[in-house]
């Protein structure tokens, strides 16, 4: 019910979107995905514009994570088409999706807990590295130069997200909110065109959420990164998103600006519970 109240709130002017979005870069057409007898997604279509912050919302089990997993190639839908930058994507696995410029963070933090912040962020550069592991281990000339360049990029991202002071700290020792920021840094180190964020504010206190909102907006503004995010905090979603797509029981029930979605009777019904109840 907390979500419902937040859905009706007016947007906070502090975070009001102020960016120009570009042409469609990702187009999802008629996506259907089932797991055995469970229909996770049914005939979902929506697009993502360049430089946009696009949110996917919906009650638990609505199909949000499945949708993100379709976009980054973890799941292959039984039906539908994905067009990324005008190219039809067929049978693309998650490595190919990452190489094509789609990076993501996870609902549950997926970092190397024993490694430092810097080393974790460096793993985000792996796909960009040309020299192989043996050359890197031998610190052979070109590999060494390449590593220095990648390290510089990782340090830039660390500075941008204001985590310099913990760059040598093992990630497992950091509080949850900072670990989430390190995960964002690692995804950003890959210099993605599209960044997929799976519940970036989950488990955060109010102050940590405000910080994360600022960083997401700054990343979008200053790096021009297109962002697709799943988030349960409706206040956050309505404040920072350009457009919102709403899923319920694997179907799309709303799509539009925060104001349009807020006024959509089907969306209100889904969040109030109505006959479907229990959300
Ligand atoms: N790997 C899987 N195997 C079988 N069923 C799955 C799998 N992944 C998701 N599902 C089912 O698909 C439906 C959609 O799940 P999904 O996790 O995408 O929803 P969600 O909106 O992200 O939920 P939440 O907000 O709780 O994370 C659910 O019924 C779920 O049980």
Q: Is 62 in the pocket of ligand 1 (CB under 6 A)?
A: yes
- Expressed in angstroms and rounded, the spacing between residue 40 Cα and the centre of ligand 1 is 6
Task: Identify the H or E element spanning 108.
Answer: none
Angle, alpha carbons 247-69-270 (nearest 5°): 10
Tell the residue nearest (CA) to atom 7 of ligand 1: 35
In terms of Cβ atoms closer than 10 Å to its own Cβ (0-12, 13-18, 19+), residue 95 is exposed
| Cα–Cα dist 267/279, whole Å | 12
Tell the residue nearest (CA) to atom 10 of ligand 1: 40
- Give the residue, 93 or 207, on which the prediction is more confident: 207
Confidence of residue 109 (pLDDT cuts 50, 70, 90): low
Q: To test ligand 1's pocket by mutation, which of 63, 67, 279 has the most ligand atoms within 8 angstroms of CB?
A: 63
Query: Residue 49's pLDDT is what?
Result: 97
pLDDT tens column, 190-246: 999 999 999 999 888 999 999 999 999 999 999 999 999 999 888 899 999 999 999
CATH number of this structure's domain 1-101+192-279, picked from the four choices 3.90.550.10, 3.40.50.300, 3.30.230.10, 3.30.450.20: 3.40.50.300
Q: Left (φ > 0), alpha (ψ -120 to 50) or beta: where does 238 sit?
A: alpha
CB 84 within 8 A of CB 70: no
Among 69-78, 120-129, 183-192, 253-262, the least confident range: 120-129
- Expressed in angstroms and rounded, the spacing between residue 232 Cα and the centre of ligand 1 is 15
SS3 of residue 129 by DSSP: coil
Confidence of residue 139 (pLDDT cuts 50, 70, 90): low
Mean pLDDT of 110-127: 86
Q: Is 187 in the pocket of ligand 1 (CB under 6 A)?
A: no
For residue 257, what are the contacts with CB-CB under 8 A and spacing of at least 6?
242, 243, 244
Q: Is 66 in the pocket of ligand 1 (CB under 6 A)?
A: yes
Beta strand pairing status for 194-198 and 38-49? Answer: unpaired
Q: Is 35 in the pocket of ligand 1 (CB under 6 A)?
A: yes
Model-level pTM? 0.85
Residue ranges of the domains in the chain?
A: 1-101+192-279, 114-191
Confidence of residue 148 (pLDDT cuts 50, 70, 90): confident
Cβ-count burial 266-278 (b if 16+ within 10 Å, e if not): ebbebbeeeeeee
């Amino acid at each position: 019910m907390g979500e419902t109240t937040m859905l009706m709130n007016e947007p906070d002017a502090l975070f009001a979107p102020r960016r120009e979005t570009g042409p469609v870069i990702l187009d999802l057409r008629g996506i259907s995905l089932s797991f055995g007898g469970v229909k996770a997604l049914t005939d979902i279509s929506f697009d993502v514009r360049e430089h946009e912050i696009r949110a996917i919302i919906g009650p638990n089990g609505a199909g949000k994570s499945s949708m993100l997993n379709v976009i980054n190639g973890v799941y292959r839908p039984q039906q539908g088409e994905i067009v990324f930058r005008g190219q039809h994507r067929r049978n693309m696995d998650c490595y190919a999706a990452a190489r094509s410029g789609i990076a993501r963070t996870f609902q549950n933090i997926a970092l190397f807990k024993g490694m430092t912040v810097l080393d974790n962020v460096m793993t985000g550069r792996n796909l960009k590295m040309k020299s192989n592991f043996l050359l890197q281990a031998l610190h052979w000339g070109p590999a060494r130069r390449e590593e220095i360049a990648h390290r510089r990029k990782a340090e830039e991202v660390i500075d941008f997200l204001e985590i310099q002071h913990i760059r040598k700290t093992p990630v497992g020792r950091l509080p949850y909110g900072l670990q989430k920021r390190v995960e964002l840094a690692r995804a950003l180190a890959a210099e993605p065109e599209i960044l997929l964020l799976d519940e970036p504010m989950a488990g955060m206190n109010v102050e940590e959420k405000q910080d994360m909102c600022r960083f997401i907006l700054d990343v979008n503004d200053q790096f021009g990164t297109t962002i697709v995010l799943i988030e349960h905090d409706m206040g956050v979603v309505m404040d920072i998103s350009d457009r919102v797509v709403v899923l319920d029981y694997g179907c799309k029930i709303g799509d539009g600006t925060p104001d349009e979605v807020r006024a959509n009777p089907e969306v209100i019904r889904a969040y109030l519970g109505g006959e479907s109840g229990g959300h």
